[in-house]
């Protein structure tokens, strides 16, 4: 019976380490109005062994509840815009929850931290920080049309170069034969110099 009274006390430290994290999308030149993001946009906090996923809310933010202490990779998935990944560290500092976020890069060592992103206190408890879109996604890239005239010009230019090179080769062979079949002029000169 006494063990049942100790069980809630044993769970209190684990519950104290759970934090609320809010990520708000801030307007940027590539996304002047964050409310235009697709409703399918989502964000995930991923660590080795577990992850948290949050959908985009109506106020263009992602709310993660009950995030346990650890180091996470924040990734925003959108069909229209690209967002930089962030490293989010959730911990317990002096009895109060601490949430810190840094810019990071894919393929970088985890200990390499980028620029610190300032977190603010969220009105309903927890920490909040902002995230900007880097740019828009382009799925269809316009290609230049096929220009038949350009293809013909290139092939004519190549043909002319081949003809000029072959004619210059024929001219050099004819000039070698004009020495009366003695061979190369340099060979004749070397033989005369050695004979002196």
The 10s digit of each residue's pLDDT in 125-155 is 778 889 999 998 887 777 777 676 676 667 7
- Classify residue 141: in a domain, yes or no: no
Same-domain pairing of 38 and 89: yes
Whether 23 and 102 map to the same domain: the answer is: yes
Domain with residue 13: its CATH number is: 2.60.40.1120
Query: Residue 6 above 50 pLDDT?
Result: no
Say yes or no to pLDDT of 11 above 50: no
27 Cβ contact partners less than 8 Å away, ≥ 6 residues apart: 33, 34, 132
Q: Are residues 112 and 15 in the same domain?
A: yes
**Distance between CA atoms of residues 42 and 175, nearest Å:** 77
Binning pLDDT at 50, 70 and 90, where does residue 52 land?
very high
Please measure the distance between the N-terminal and C-terminal CA atoms of the chain and give it in whole angstroms: 123
Identify the domain boundary among 136, 158, 178: 136
Report whether pLDDT(53) > 90. yes
Domains: count for the chain: 2
143: in domain: no
What are the φ/ψ torsions at residue 84 (nearest 5 degrees)? -75, 140
User: Do the Cβ atoms of 129 and 83 come closer than 8 Å?
Assistant: no
CB 98 within 8 A of CB 90: yes
**Predicted TM-score of the model (pTM):** 0.60
CA 119 – CA 173 distance, rounded (Å): 80
DSSP codes joined into one string, 133-178? EEEE---S---PPP-HHHHHHHHHHHHHHHHHHHHHHHHHHHHHHT
The two three-digit tokens of residue 108, written as one number: 């970088």
Say whether both 122 and 165 belong to one domain.
no
pLDDT score of 98 more than 70? yes
Predicted local confidence at residue 187, as pLDDT: 56
Are residues 63 and 124 both part of a single domain? yes
Residue 18 in any domain: the answer is yes
Identify the band that residue 161 occupies on the pLDDT scale cut at 50, 70 and 90: confident
Which residue in 71, 70, 73 sits closest to 107, CA to CA?
73
């Amino acid at each position: 019976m006494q063990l049942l009274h100790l069980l809630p006390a044993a769970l209190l430290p684990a519950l104290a380490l759970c934090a609320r994290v809010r990520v708000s999308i801030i307007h940027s030149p590539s996304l002047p109005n964050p409310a235009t993001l697709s409703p399918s946009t989502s964000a995930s906090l991923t660590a080795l062994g577990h992850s948290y996923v949050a959908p985009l809310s109506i106020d263009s933010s992602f709310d993660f509840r009950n995030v346990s202490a650890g180091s996470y990779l924040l990734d925003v998935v959108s069909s229209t815009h690209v967002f930089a990944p962030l490293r989010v560290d959730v911990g317990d500092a002096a009895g109060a929850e601490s949430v810190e976020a840094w810019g990071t890069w894919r393929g970088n060592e985890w200990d390499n931290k980028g620029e610190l992103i300032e977190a603010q206190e969220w009105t309903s408890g927890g920490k909040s920080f902002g995230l900007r879109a880097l740019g828009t996604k382009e799925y269809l890239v316009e290609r230049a049309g096929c220009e038949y005239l350009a293809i013909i010009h290139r092939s004519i230019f190549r043909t002319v170069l081949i003809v000029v090179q072959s004619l210059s080769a024929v001219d050099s062979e004819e000039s070698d034969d004009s020495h009366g079949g003695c061979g190369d002029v340099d060979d004749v000169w070397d033989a005369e110099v050695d004979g002196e």
